[in-house]
Structure 1
Amino acid sequence: MTTAAPEQPIVVGIDGSDASLGAARWAAKLATAQALPLTLLHAIPRVDWHFAGTGASADLDANGDGVLATAEANVRSAHPDLAVSTSTVKGAVATALADASQEARLLVVGTGAADHRALGGHAVRTVHQAQCPVGVWRAPLAKRTGKPLPVVVGVDDSEASGRALAEAFDIARALRAQLTVAHMWEIDAAVGMGDLGGEGNMDWQLLDVLETRQRQRMDELVQPLTKKYPNAHVVKVFRDISPAKGLTDLSREAQLVVVGSHGRGRLAGSVLGSVAQNLIHHAECSVLVVR
Protein backbone atom coordinates (compact mmCIF):
# COMPACT_ATOMS: atom_id res chain seq x y z
CA MET A 1 0.00 0.00 0.00
CA THR A 2 1.64 3.24 1.05
CA THR A 3 5.17 1.84 0.67
CA ALA A 4 4.36 -1.42 -1.07
CA ALA A 5 6.92 -3.19 -3.18
CA PRO A 6 5.36 -4.91 -6.22
CA GLU A 7 6.50 -8.35 -5.09
CA GLN A 8 4.91 -8.10 -1.64
CA PRO A 9 1.68 -10.11 -1.70
CA ILE A 10 -1.54 -9.71 0.17
CA VAL A 11 -1.87 -12.98 2.09
CA VAL A 12 -5.28 -14.41 3.00
CA GLY A 13 -5.85 -17.17 5.53
CA ILE A 14 -8.18 -19.79 4.06
CA ASP A 15 -9.99 -22.41 6.17
CA GLY A 16 -13.01 -23.33 4.04
CA SER A 17 -15.45 -21.08 5.90
CA ASP A 18 -17.71 -18.53 4.23
CA ALA A 19 -15.85 -15.85 6.21
CA SER A 20 -12.51 -16.83 4.69
CA LEU A 21 -14.04 -16.77 1.20
CA GLY A 22 -15.39 -13.29 1.92
CA ALA A 23 -11.94 -12.26 3.13
CA ALA A 24 -10.39 -13.65 -0.07
CA ARG A 25 -12.82 -11.72 -2.28
CA TRP A 26 -12.20 -8.48 -0.38
CA ALA A 27 -8.41 -8.98 -0.47
CA ALA A 28 -8.54 -9.79 -4.18
CA LYS A 29 -10.38 -6.55 -4.89
CA LEU A 30 -7.76 -4.59 -2.98
CA ALA A 31 -4.86 -6.50 -4.56
CA THR A 32 -6.24 -5.77 -8.02
CA ALA A 33 -6.58 -2.07 -7.22
CA GLN A 34 -3.03 -1.96 -5.82
CA ALA A 35 -1.45 -4.17 -8.54
CA LEU A 36 -0.25 -6.62 -5.87
CA PRO A 37 -0.18 -10.42 -6.05
CA LEU A 38 -2.49 -12.47 -3.84
CA THR A 39 -1.48 -15.54 -1.83
CA LEU A 40 -4.10 -17.92 -0.43
CA LEU A 41 -2.70 -19.74 2.60
CA HIS A 42 -4.19 -22.81 4.28
CA ALA A 43 -2.71 -23.86 7.62
CA ILE A 44 -3.19 -27.38 8.97
CA PRO A 45 -2.94 -27.15 12.78
CA ARG A 46 -0.27 -29.39 14.25
CA VAL A 47 -2.84 -31.05 16.53
CA ASP A 48 -4.58 -32.38 13.43
CA TRP A 49 -1.62 -34.07 11.79
CA HIS A 50 1.06 -34.79 14.38
CA PHE A 51 -0.55 -37.98 15.62
CA ALA A 52 -2.19 -38.94 12.35
CA GLY A 53 -1.06 -41.87 10.25
CA THR A 54 0.10 -41.58 6.67
CA GLY A 55 -3.40 -42.03 5.31
CA ALA A 56 -4.92 -39.43 7.60
CA SER A 57 -2.17 -36.98 6.75
CA ALA A 58 -2.85 -37.48 3.05
CA ASP A 59 -6.55 -36.84 3.63
CA LEU A 60 -5.74 -33.57 5.42
CA ASP A 61 -3.48 -32.50 2.57
CA ALA A 62 -6.19 -33.35 0.04
CA ASN A 63 -8.76 -31.42 2.04
CA GLY A 64 -6.44 -28.43 2.15
CA ASP A 65 -5.97 -28.59 -1.60
CA GLY A 66 -9.72 -28.66 -2.07
CA VAL A 67 -10.26 -25.69 0.23
CA LEU A 68 -7.63 -23.68 -1.62
CA ALA A 69 -8.97 -24.69 -5.05
CA THR A 70 -12.44 -23.47 -4.09
CA ALA A 71 -11.09 -20.16 -2.83
CA GLU A 72 -8.89 -19.68 -5.91
CA ALA A 73 -11.79 -20.36 -8.28
CA ASN A 74 -13.93 -17.91 -6.32
CA VAL A 75 -11.29 -15.19 -6.61
CA ARG A 76 -10.43 -15.80 -10.26
CA SER A 77 -14.09 -15.64 -11.32
CA ALA A 78 -14.14 -11.97 -10.28
CA HIS A 79 -10.49 -11.09 -10.98
CA PRO A 80 -9.24 -13.28 -13.86
CA ASP A 81 -6.06 -11.25 -14.41
CA LEU A 82 -4.95 -11.19 -10.78
CA ALA A 83 -1.71 -13.03 -9.93
CA VAL A 84 -2.87 -15.69 -7.43
CA SER A 85 -0.78 -18.37 -5.70
CA THR A 86 -1.73 -20.96 -3.10
CA SER A 87 0.17 -22.51 -0.20
CA THR A 88 -0.47 -25.18 2.43
CA VAL A 89 1.49 -25.03 5.69
CA LYS A 90 1.51 -27.58 8.50
CA GLY A 91 1.64 -25.84 11.84
CA ALA A 92 -0.25 -23.71 14.33
CA VAL A 93 -2.62 -21.38 12.51
CA ALA A 94 -1.55 -18.09 14.11
CA THR A 95 2.13 -19.02 13.82
CA ALA A 96 1.80 -19.95 10.15
CA LEU A 97 0.08 -16.66 9.41
CA ALA A 98 2.63 -14.69 11.45
CA ASP A 99 5.46 -16.33 9.50
CA ALA A 100 3.77 -15.41 6.22
CA SER A 101 3.32 -11.83 7.43
CA GLN A 102 7.09 -11.28 7.44
CA GLU A 103 7.07 -11.10 3.64
CA ALA A 104 3.52 -9.80 3.15
CA ARG A 105 2.21 -6.33 2.48
CA LEU A 106 -1.04 -7.16 4.22
CA LEU A 107 -2.46 -10.20 6.01
CA VAL A 108 -6.21 -10.86 5.91
CA VAL A 109 -8.31 -13.30 7.92
CA GLY A 110 -12.05 -13.71 8.02
CA THR A 111 -14.26 -13.83 11.05
CA GLY A 112 -17.88 -13.38 12.01
CA ALA A 113 -20.21 -13.41 15.01
CA ALA A 114 -21.13 -17.05 14.48
CA ASP A 115 -17.79 -18.18 13.04
CA HIS A 116 -15.63 -20.08 15.52
CA ARG A 117 -13.64 -22.11 13.02
CA ALA A 118 -9.86 -22.18 12.89
CA LEU A 119 -9.11 -18.70 11.57
CA GLY A 120 -12.01 -16.84 13.14
CA GLY A 121 -10.99 -18.08 16.57
CA HIS A 122 -7.38 -16.99 15.99
CA ALA A 123 -8.05 -13.43 14.78
CA VAL A 124 -6.77 -11.59 17.85
CA ARG A 125 -3.78 -13.90 18.24
CA THR A 126 -2.91 -13.37 14.59
CA VAL A 127 -3.03 -9.59 14.96
CA HIS A 128 -0.78 -9.85 18.03
CA GLN A 129 1.88 -11.88 16.22
CA ALA A 130 1.84 -10.47 12.68
CA GLN A 131 4.65 -8.27 11.38
CA CYS A 132 2.51 -6.37 8.87
CA PRO A 133 -0.93 -4.73 8.89
CA VAL A 134 -3.73 -7.24 9.51
CA GLY A 135 -7.23 -7.03 8.11
CA VAL A 136 -9.94 -8.89 10.02
CA TRP A 137 -12.70 -9.25 7.45
CA ARG A 138 -16.35 -9.21 8.45
CA ALA A 139 -19.32 -8.67 6.16
CA PRO A 140 -20.45 -5.05 6.67
CA LEU A 141 -23.74 -4.38 8.37
CA ALA A 142 -24.44 -1.46 6.02
CA LYS A 143 -25.57 -2.14 2.48
CA ARG A 144 -24.03 -0.36 -0.47
CA THR A 145 -26.52 1.92 -2.26
CA GLY A 146 -24.65 2.98 -5.39
CA LYS A 147 -21.41 4.46 -4.09
CA PRO A 148 -18.81 2.60 -2.00
CA LEU A 149 -19.28 2.56 1.75
CA PRO A 150 -16.85 4.84 3.64
CA VAL A 151 -13.48 3.85 5.06
CA VAL A 152 -13.15 5.07 8.66
CA VAL A 153 -9.83 5.73 10.40
CA GLY A 154 -9.39 6.51 14.08
CA VAL A 155 -6.61 8.95 14.97
CA ASP A 156 -4.92 10.15 18.15
CA ASP A 157 -1.41 11.40 18.98
CA SER A 158 0.35 8.03 18.67
CA GLU A 159 2.83 7.10 15.94
CA ALA A 160 0.74 4.04 15.07
CA SER A 161 -2.20 6.35 14.49
CA GLY A 162 -0.20 8.32 11.93
CA ARG A 163 0.67 5.13 10.07
CA ALA A 164 -2.95 4.03 10.21
CA LEU A 165 -4.01 7.34 8.67
CA ALA A 166 -1.56 6.93 5.79
CA GLU A 167 -2.81 3.40 5.13
CA ALA A 168 -6.42 4.54 5.27
CA PHE A 169 -5.84 7.25 2.66
CA ASP A 170 -4.26 4.71 0.34
CA ILE A 171 -7.02 2.14 0.78
CA ALA A 172 -9.79 4.71 0.38
CA ARG A 173 -8.22 5.79 -2.91
CA ALA A 174 -7.95 2.18 -4.10
CA LEU A 175 -11.57 1.45 -3.18
CA ARG A 176 -12.76 4.88 -4.42
CA ALA A 177 -14.41 5.47 -1.09
CA GLN A 178 -14.97 8.43 1.19
CA LEU A 179 -12.48 8.61 4.05
CA THR A 180 -13.91 9.48 7.46
CA VAL A 181 -11.15 10.65 9.82
CA ALA A 182 -12.40 10.32 13.39
CA HIS A 183 -10.93 11.61 16.61
CA MET A 184 -12.81 10.29 19.64
CA TRP A 185 -11.89 12.09 22.81
CA GLU A 186 -13.46 11.71 26.25
CA ILE A 187 -13.38 15.35 27.31
CA ASP A 188 -14.44 14.89 30.94
CA ALA A 189 -11.54 12.52 31.58
CA ALA A 190 -9.12 14.80 29.75
CA VAL A 191 -9.88 17.77 32.01
CA GLY A 192 -9.86 15.71 35.18
CA MET A 193 -13.63 15.31 35.56
CA GLY A 194 -13.83 11.64 34.74
CA ASP A 195 -14.32 10.40 38.30
CA LEU A 196 -16.50 13.19 39.72
CA GLY A 197 -19.73 11.58 38.66
CA GLY A 198 -20.91 14.76 36.97
CA GLU A 199 -20.40 16.86 40.11
CA GLY A 200 -18.11 19.86 40.47
CA ASN A 201 -17.41 22.84 38.24
CA MET A 202 -16.21 22.29 34.69
CA ASP A 203 -13.26 24.44 33.65
CA TRP A 204 -14.80 25.59 30.37
CA GLN A 205 -11.82 27.70 29.38
CA LEU A 206 -9.49 24.72 29.73
CA LEU A 207 -11.99 22.59 27.86
CA ASP A 208 -12.04 25.03 24.96
CA VAL A 209 -8.23 25.11 24.81
CA LEU A 210 -7.99 21.33 24.79
CA GLU A 211 -10.62 20.94 22.08
CA THR A 212 -8.90 23.53 19.92
CA ARG A 213 -5.55 21.79 20.30
CA GLN A 214 -7.04 18.42 19.39
CA ARG A 215 -8.69 19.81 16.27
CA GLN A 216 -5.44 21.50 15.25
CA ARG A 217 -3.59 18.24 15.74
CA MET A 218 -6.07 16.44 13.50
CA ASP A 219 -5.61 19.09 10.81
CA GLU A 220 -1.82 18.74 11.06
CA LEU A 221 -2.07 14.98 10.54
CA VAL A 222 -4.51 15.17 7.65
CA GLN A 223 -3.17 18.12 5.65
CA PRO A 224 0.00 16.49 4.21
CA LEU A 225 -2.01 13.49 3.07
CA THR A 226 -4.69 15.58 1.38
CA LYS A 227 -1.88 17.11 -0.67
CA LYS A 228 -0.58 13.65 -1.56
CA TYR A 229 -4.10 12.46 -2.41
CA PRO A 230 -5.72 15.60 -3.90
CA ASN A 231 -8.85 13.77 -5.03
CA ALA A 232 -9.56 12.26 -1.63
CA HIS A 233 -13.03 12.86 -0.23
CA VAL A 234 -12.29 13.45 3.45
CA VAL A 235 -14.84 13.95 6.21
CA LYS A 236 -13.63 14.82 9.72
CA VAL A 237 -15.48 13.64 12.81
CA PHE A 238 -14.69 14.90 16.30
CA ARG A 239 -16.76 13.47 19.15
CA ASP A 240 -16.80 13.42 22.93
CA ILE A 241 -17.10 9.65 23.31
CA SER A 242 -14.84 6.71 24.05
CA PRO A 243 -12.80 5.74 20.96
CA ALA A 244 -13.99 2.12 21.02
CA LYS A 245 -17.66 3.06 21.17
CA GLY A 246 -17.35 5.94 18.74
CA LEU A 247 -15.58 3.87 16.09
CA THR A 248 -17.96 0.97 16.59
CA ASP A 249 -20.86 3.35 15.98
CA LEU A 250 -19.23 4.59 12.75
CA SER A 251 -18.54 1.00 11.65
CA ARG A 252 -22.29 0.44 11.21
CA GLU A 253 -22.20 2.64 8.10
CA ALA A 254 -18.71 1.71 6.84
CA GLN A 255 -16.91 -1.01 4.90
CA LEU A 256 -13.68 -0.78 6.89
CA VAL A 257 -12.33 0.75 10.10
CA VAL A 258 -8.57 1.39 10.27
CA VAL A 259 -6.76 1.81 13.60
CA GLY A 260 -3.23 1.74 14.93
CA SER A 261 -2.19 -1.24 17.01
CA HIS A 262 -1.30 0.92 20.01
CA GLY A 263 -3.81 3.45 21.28
CA ARG A 264 -3.87 5.87 24.19
CA GLY A 265 -6.19 3.85 26.38
CA ARG A 266 -5.42 1.87 29.52
CA LEU A 267 -3.78 -0.87 27.47
CA ALA A 268 -1.65 1.45 25.33
CA GLY A 269 1.52 -0.28 26.49
CA SER A 270 0.29 -3.76 25.62
CA VAL A 271 1.00 -5.61 22.40
CA LEU A 272 -2.43 -4.73 21.06
CA GLY A 273 -4.21 -1.55 22.12
CA SER A 274 -7.58 -1.72 23.83
CA VAL A 275 -9.38 0.10 21.01
CA ALA A 276 -8.07 -2.24 18.31
CA GLN A 277 -8.90 -5.30 20.36
CA ASN A 278 -12.41 -4.05 21.06
CA LEU A 279 -13.06 -3.33 17.39
CA ILE A 280 -11.92 -6.78 16.29
CA HIS A 281 -14.68 -8.23 18.45
CA HIS A 282 -17.43 -5.63 18.07
CA ALA A 283 -17.10 -3.66 14.81
CA GLU A 284 -19.92 -4.06 12.30
CA CYS A 285 -17.52 -4.20 9.34
CA SER A 286 -13.95 -5.22 8.60
CA VAL A 287 -11.09 -3.87 10.72
CA LEU A 288 -7.52 -3.13 9.64
CA VAL A 289 -4.94 -2.95 12.44
CA VAL A 290 -1.75 -1.12 11.48
CA ARG A 291 1.57 -1.37 13.31
Structure 2
Amino acid sequence: MTNPVVVGVDGSPSSLEAVEVAAREAALRGVGLRLVHAFGRTSVHVPPGMPPWNPKAAGVRELVDGTMTEAERRARTTAPDVEITRDVTVGEPVMVLEIESRTASLVVVGSRGLGGFGSLLLGSTAVHLAAHGRCPVLVVRGRPDPTGPVLLAVDGSPAGEAAVGFAFAEATLRGADLVALHAWNTWSESAHEGYGDHLSVVVDLERLQEEEQRLLDETMAPWQERHPEVTVERRLVRSRIRPALIEASQEAQLLVTGARGRGGFTGLLLGSVSQALLHHAHCPVAVVRGKE
Protein backbone atom coordinates (compact mmCIF):
# COMPACT_ATOMS: atom_id res chain seq x y z
CA MET A 1 0.00 0.00 0.00
CA THR A 2 1.29 3.45 -0.93
CA ASN A 3 2.25 5.62 2.03
CA PRO A 4 -0.53 8.06 2.98
CA VAL A 5 -0.50 11.79 3.54
CA VAL A 6 -0.74 12.47 7.29
CA VAL A 7 -2.21 15.64 8.77
CA GLY A 8 -2.21 16.80 12.39
CA VAL A 9 -5.66 17.85 13.61
CA ASP A 10 -6.48 19.89 16.73
CA GLY A 11 -9.72 21.59 15.68
CA SER A 12 -8.23 25.05 15.17
CA PRO A 13 -8.97 26.98 11.94
CA SER A 14 -5.31 26.57 10.97
CA SER A 15 -5.40 22.79 11.35
CA LEU A 16 -8.65 22.53 9.40
CA GLU A 17 -7.02 24.52 6.61
CA ALA A 18 -4.15 22.04 6.79
CA VAL A 19 -6.67 19.20 6.42
CA GLU A 20 -7.93 20.69 3.16
CA VAL A 21 -4.38 21.12 1.85
CA ALA A 22 -3.50 17.57 2.89
CA ALA A 23 -6.62 16.21 1.16
CA ARG A 24 -5.60 17.92 -2.08
CA GLU A 25 -2.08 16.54 -1.75
CA ALA A 26 -3.44 13.03 -1.18
CA ALA A 27 -5.70 13.34 -4.23
CA LEU A 28 -2.82 14.52 -6.39
CA ARG A 29 -0.69 11.58 -5.27
CA GLY A 30 -3.48 9.03 -5.47
CA VAL A 31 -2.92 7.94 -1.85
CA GLY A 32 -4.97 7.84 1.33
CA LEU A 33 -5.32 10.59 3.94
CA ARG A 34 -4.72 9.91 7.64
CA LEU A 35 -6.20 12.34 10.19
CA VAL A 36 -4.25 12.25 13.46
CA HIS A 37 -5.13 13.80 16.81
CA ALA A 38 -2.95 13.33 19.89
CA PHE A 39 -3.43 14.15 23.55
CA GLY A 40 -0.25 15.42 25.14
CA ARG A 41 0.20 15.92 28.87
CA THR A 42 -1.24 19.43 28.71
CA SER A 43 -3.97 18.79 26.15
CA VAL A 44 -6.62 17.57 28.60
CA HIS A 45 -6.91 18.29 32.34
CA VAL A 46 -7.95 15.23 34.34
CA PRO A 47 -7.95 14.50 38.08
CA PRO A 48 -4.76 13.18 39.72
CA GLY A 49 -4.30 9.45 39.35
CA MET A 50 -6.37 9.24 36.16
CA PRO A 51 -4.82 8.22 32.82
CA PRO A 52 -3.60 11.04 30.52
CA TRP A 53 -6.80 10.67 28.53
CA ASN A 54 -10.01 9.24 29.94
CA PRO A 55 -12.61 8.69 27.20
CA LYS A 56 -15.34 9.08 29.83
CA ALA A 57 -14.11 12.47 31.01
CA ALA A 58 -16.81 15.09 30.72
CA GLY A 59 -17.02 16.40 27.20
CA VAL A 60 -13.72 14.92 26.04
CA ARG A 61 -15.10 12.24 23.75
CA GLU A 62 -17.68 14.63 22.32
CA LEU A 63 -15.03 17.27 21.75
CA VAL A 64 -12.69 14.88 19.96
CA ASP A 65 -15.47 13.27 17.94
CA GLY A 66 -16.67 16.69 16.86
CA THR A 67 -13.17 17.79 15.91
CA MET A 68 -12.43 14.69 13.86
CA THR A 69 -15.88 14.68 12.24
CA GLU A 70 -15.43 18.26 11.07
CA ALA A 71 -11.91 17.48 9.82
CA GLU A 72 -13.21 14.49 7.86
CA ARG A 73 -16.06 16.56 6.44
CA ARG A 74 -13.59 19.18 5.22
CA ALA A 75 -11.39 16.49 3.70
CA ARG A 76 -14.27 14.74 1.89
CA THR A 77 -15.56 18.04 0.54
CA THR A 78 -12.10 18.85 -0.81
CA ALA A 79 -11.24 15.40 -2.16
CA PRO A 80 -14.31 13.11 -2.33
CA ASP A 81 -12.45 10.13 -3.80
CA VAL A 82 -9.63 9.98 -1.24
CA GLU A 83 -9.71 7.15 1.31
CA ILE A 84 -9.69 8.69 4.80
CA THR A 85 -8.70 7.09 8.09
CA ARG A 86 -8.65 8.56 11.62
CA ASP A 87 -6.42 7.99 14.59
CA VAL A 88 -6.81 9.44 18.09
CA THR A 89 -3.94 8.57 20.38
CA VAL A 90 -2.25 9.52 23.65
CA GLY A 91 1.18 11.09 23.40
CA GLU A 92 3.02 14.33 22.84
CA PRO A 93 1.73 15.58 19.47
CA VAL A 94 5.15 16.36 18.01
CA MET A 95 6.42 12.88 18.87
CA VAL A 96 3.27 11.26 17.50
CA LEU A 97 3.70 13.07 14.19
CA GLU A 98 7.38 12.19 14.09
CA ILE A 99 6.46 8.51 14.42
CA GLU A 100 3.73 8.90 11.80
CA SER A 101 6.29 10.41 9.40
CA ARG A 102 8.11 7.07 9.24
CA THR A 103 5.31 5.56 7.16
CA ALA A 104 3.94 8.71 5.47
CA SER A 105 4.68 10.21 2.08
CA LEU A 106 4.05 13.69 3.48
CA VAL A 107 3.13 15.23 6.85
CA VAL A 108 1.01 18.39 6.80
CA VAL A 109 0.51 20.73 9.76
CA GLY A 110 -1.05 24.14 10.27
CA SER A 111 0.88 27.18 11.34
CA ARG A 112 -1.22 28.03 14.40
CA GLY A 113 -3.45 26.00 16.68
CA LEU A 114 -4.81 25.30 20.13
CA GLY A 115 -1.59 24.21 21.79
CA GLY A 116 -1.31 20.63 20.53
CA PHE A 117 -0.29 20.26 16.91
CA GLY A 118 -0.80 24.01 16.62
CA SER A 119 1.01 27.03 18.03
CA LEU A 120 3.73 26.11 15.57
CA LEU A 121 4.98 29.65 15.18
CA LEU A 122 4.79 30.18 18.92
CA GLY A 123 6.97 27.20 19.79
CA SER A 124 9.33 24.66 18.31
CA THR A 125 6.91 22.04 16.97
CA ALA A 126 7.34 22.86 13.28
CA VAL A 127 11.09 23.23 13.64
CA HIS A 128 11.38 19.92 15.49
CA LEU A 129 9.22 18.07 13.01
CA ALA A 130 10.99 19.57 9.98
CA ALA A 131 14.33 18.64 11.51
CA HIS A 132 13.49 15.11 12.65
CA GLY A 133 10.65 13.94 10.41
CA ARG A 134 11.38 10.98 8.14
CA CYS A 135 9.42 12.41 5.19
CA PRO A 136 8.82 15.89 3.75
CA VAL A 137 6.91 18.24 6.08
CA LEU A 138 4.48 20.81 4.70
CA VAL A 139 3.62 23.75 6.98
CA VAL A 140 0.49 25.56 5.81
CA ARG A 141 0.89 29.30 6.25
CA GLY A 142 0.54 32.59 4.43
CA ARG A 143 -1.71 33.36 1.49
CA PRO A 144 -0.46 31.33 -1.47
CA ASP A 145 -1.11 32.39 -5.05
CA PRO A 146 -3.00 29.39 -6.50
CA THR A 147 -1.84 30.31 -10.00
CA GLY A 148 1.76 30.97 -8.93
CA PRO A 149 4.77 28.74 -9.43
CA VAL A 150 6.41 26.28 -7.11
CA LEU A 151 9.40 28.13 -5.66
CA LEU A 152 12.55 26.11 -4.99
CA ALA A 153 15.41 27.31 -2.80
CA VAL A 154 18.54 26.07 -4.57
CA ASP A 155 21.72 25.81 -2.49
CA GLY A 156 23.70 23.29 -4.54
CA SER A 157 24.42 21.03 -1.58
CA PRO A 158 24.21 17.21 -1.84
CA ALA A 159 21.58 17.21 0.93
CA GLY A 160 19.52 19.66 -1.12
CA GLU A 161 19.02 17.18 -3.95
CA ALA A 162 15.99 15.69 -2.20
CA ALA A 163 14.32 19.11 -2.14
CA VAL A 164 14.96 19.57 -5.86
CA GLY A 165 13.33 16.23 -6.63
CA PHE A 166 10.35 17.03 -4.40
CA ALA A 167 9.88 20.45 -6.05
CA PHE A 168 9.83 18.92 -9.54
CA ALA A 169 7.35 16.27 -8.39
CA GLU A 170 5.07 18.93 -6.87
CA ALA A 171 5.25 21.10 -9.99
CA THR A 172 4.30 18.08 -12.10
CA LEU A 173 1.39 17.11 -9.84
CA ARG A 174 0.09 20.67 -9.68
CA GLY A 175 0.67 21.48 -13.37
CA ALA A 176 2.66 24.50 -12.23
CA ASP A 177 5.83 26.22 -13.36
CA LEU A 178 8.95 25.96 -11.22
CA VAL A 179 11.12 28.91 -10.17
CA ALA A 180 14.55 27.76 -9.03
CA LEU A 181 16.01 30.61 -7.00
CA HIS A 182 19.65 30.75 -5.99
CA ALA A 183 20.86 33.74 -3.98
CA TRP A 184 24.49 34.76 -3.71
CA ASN A 185 26.52 37.52 -2.12
CA THR A 186 30.10 38.64 -1.69
CA TRP A 187 30.38 36.76 1.59
CA SER A 188 29.00 33.45 2.70
CA GLU A 189 25.72 33.62 4.59
CA SER A 190 26.94 30.47 6.29
CA ALA A 191 28.65 32.84 8.69
CA HIS A 192 25.19 33.19 10.22
CA GLU A 193 24.97 29.41 10.46
CA GLY A 194 28.06 29.31 12.65
CA TYR A 195 30.57 28.63 9.91
CA GLY A 196 32.56 30.97 7.73
CA ASP A 197 34.26 34.29 8.10
CA HIS A 198 32.74 37.74 7.65
CA LEU A 199 36.11 38.86 6.28
CA SER A 200 36.11 36.35 3.44
CA VAL A 201 35.00 38.96 0.90
CA VAL A 202 35.25 38.00 -2.76
CA VAL A 203 36.69 40.82 -4.85
CA ASP A 204 36.08 39.36 -8.32
CA LEU A 205 32.30 39.74 -8.50
CA GLU A 206 32.04 38.70 -12.13
CA ARG A 207 33.89 35.47 -11.48
CA LEU A 208 31.79 34.74 -8.40
CA GLN A 209 28.57 35.35 -10.32
CA GLU A 210 29.72 32.96 -13.04
CA GLU A 211 30.51 30.30 -10.44
CA GLU A 212 27.13 30.69 -8.78
CA GLN A 213 25.36 30.54 -12.15
CA ARG A 214 27.28 27.35 -12.92
CA LEU A 215 26.20 25.86 -9.60
CA LEU A 216 22.56 26.69 -10.35
CA ASP A 217 22.77 25.27 -13.87
CA GLU A 218 24.52 22.07 -12.79
CA THR A 219 21.96 21.52 -10.04
CA MET A 220 18.95 21.97 -12.30
CA ALA A 221 20.07 20.47 -15.63
CA PRO A 222 19.73 16.74 -14.80
CA TRP A 223 16.34 17.24 -13.17
CA GLN A 224 15.01 19.22 -16.11
CA GLU A 225 16.03 16.36 -18.41
CA ARG A 226 14.01 13.97 -16.23
CA HIS A 227 10.99 16.33 -16.11
CA PRO A 228 10.65 17.96 -19.53
CA GLU A 229 6.98 18.62 -18.75
CA VAL A 230 7.92 21.28 -16.16
CA THR A 231 8.63 24.83 -17.28
CA VAL A 232 11.60 26.06 -15.23
CA GLU A 233 12.86 29.56 -14.58
CA ARG A 234 16.40 29.63 -13.21
CA ARG A 235 16.64 32.79 -11.13
CA LEU A 236 20.04 33.96 -9.86
CA VAL A 237 19.85 36.95 -7.50
CA ARG A 238 22.52 38.84 -5.63
CA SER A 239 20.99 39.07 -2.19
CA ARG A 240 20.96 37.51 1.23
CA ILE A 241 19.17 34.19 1.04
CA ARG A 242 16.37 34.68 3.54
CA PRO A 243 14.94 38.03 2.32
CA ALA A 244 15.23 36.91 -1.33
CA LEU A 245 13.18 33.76 -0.71
CA ILE A 246 10.65 35.47 1.56
CA GLU A 247 10.03 38.17 -1.04
CA ALA A 248 9.72 35.64 -3.87
CA SER A 249 7.27 33.57 -1.83
CA GLN A 250 4.66 36.33 -2.22
CA GLU A 251 3.93 35.15 -5.76
CA ALA A 252 4.31 31.39 -5.16
CA GLN A 253 1.83 28.63 -4.32
CA LEU A 254 4.46 26.58 -2.51
CA LEU A 255 8.03 27.12 -1.32
CA VAL A 256 10.31 24.06 -1.17
CA THR A 257 13.56 24.10 0.77
CA GLY A 258 16.08 21.64 2.10
CA ALA A 259 16.53 21.26 5.82
CA ARG A 260 20.13 22.40 5.82
CA GLY A 261 22.23 24.08 3.14
CA ARG A 262 25.88 24.66 2.43
CA GLY A 263 28.17 25.68 5.23
CA GLY A 264 26.08 24.73 8.25
CA PHE A 265 27.45 22.85 11.22
CA THR A 266 27.85 19.15 10.56
CA GLY A 267 24.98 17.45 12.34
CA LEU A 268 22.80 20.57 12.37
CA LEU A 269 19.43 19.17 11.29
CA LEU A 270 17.70 22.42 10.41
CA GLY A 271 19.44 25.58 9.25
CA SER A 272 18.50 29.15 10.09
CA VAL A 273 17.27 29.80 6.54
CA SER A 274 14.72 26.98 6.76
CA GLN A 275 13.62 28.17 10.19
CA ALA A 276 13.18 31.73 8.92
CA LEU A 277 11.01 30.51 6.04
CA LEU A 278 8.79 28.53 8.43
CA HIS A 279 8.16 31.74 10.34
CA HIS A 280 8.00 34.39 7.62
CA ALA A 281 7.21 32.95 4.17
CA HIS A 282 4.05 34.21 2.46
CA CYS A 283 3.00 30.77 1.24
CA PRO A 284 3.10 27.16 2.51
CA VAL A 285 6.61 25.79 3.08
CA ALA A 286 7.76 22.23 2.43
CA VAL A 287 10.95 21.24 4.23
CA VAL A 288 12.65 18.21 2.69
CA ARG A 289 15.46 16.49 4.52
CA GLY A 290 18.16 14.95 2.37
CA LYS A 291 20.83 12.40 3.14
CA GLU A 292 23.25 13.95 5.60
Provide the aligned C-alpha RMSD in A: 2.4
Once the two structures are superposed, the pairs formed by residues 221-236 of structure 1 within 5 Å of their partners are 221-236=219-234
- Is residue 11 from structure 1 mapped to residue 6 from structure 2 by the alignment? yes
Please tell me the residue identity of whatever aligns with 1:31.
A
Secondary structure at 2:207 match in 1: helix
Aligned-residue offset at 1:73? 0.6
Distance 2:157 2:256 in 1: 14
List aligned pairs for 1:103-252, cutoff 5 A: 103-112=103-112, 115=113, 117-121=115-119, 122-140=125-143, 142-144=144-146, 148-189=147-188, 194-195=198-199, 203-204=203-204, 207-252=205-250
Q: How far 1:161 moved relative to its partner?
A: 1.3
Deviations 1:174-223 (A, max 9, x none): 11111110111122448x99549xxx9x733xx32222122122112211
Q: Shift in Å at residue 156 of structure 1?
A: 1.1
5+ residue gaps, structure 2: 120-124, 190-195
**TM superposition score normalised by structure 2:** 0.85
| Identity in percent | 33
Partner of 1:3: none
Q: How many residues are paired up?
A: 273
Given candidates 234, 251, 254, the residue that maps to 2:252 is: 254
C-alpha separation between the residues in 1 aligned to 2:89 and 2:283?
28
Distance 2:197 2:134 in 1: 38
The residue aligned with 1:273 is 271
TM-fit CA distance, 1:143: 4.4
Q: 1:227 to 1:44 in 2, by over 3 A?
A: same
Is the Cα–Cα contact under 8 Å of residues 265 and 274 in structure 1 kept in the other structure? no
Given that 2:137 and 2:286 are in contact with CA atoms closer than 8 Å, whether structure 1 keeps it comes out as yes
CA distance in 2, matches of 1:158, 1:79: 36
Alignment CA distance shift 1:223-1:255 (3 Å): same
For 1:189 and 1:91, how far apart are their aligned partners in 2?
41
SS of residue paired to 2:59: helix
Q: Distance in 2 between matches of 1:50 and 1:290?
A: 36
Task: Give the match's secondary structure for 1:246.
Answer: helix
Residue identity opposite 1:32 in structure 2: A
Matched, 1:41 2:1: no
Structure 1 spans left out of the alignment, 5+ residues? 1-5
From the superposition, tell whether residues 119 and 86 of structure 1 become closer, same or farther in structure 2 (CA, over 3 Å). same
Which SS does the other structure have where 1:232 is aligned?
A: coil
SS of residue in 2 equivalent to 1:109: strand
The alpha carbon displacement at 1:106 in A equals 0.7
Give, in angstroms, the shift of residue 23 of structure 1. Answer: 1.0
Relative to structure 1, is the Cα distance of residues 72 and 136 closer, same or farther in structure 2, using a 3 angstrom cutoff? same
Shift of 1:137: 0.7
CA distance in 1, matches of 2:263, 2:87: 38
Q: Give the equivalent residue in structure 1 for 2:86.
A: 86
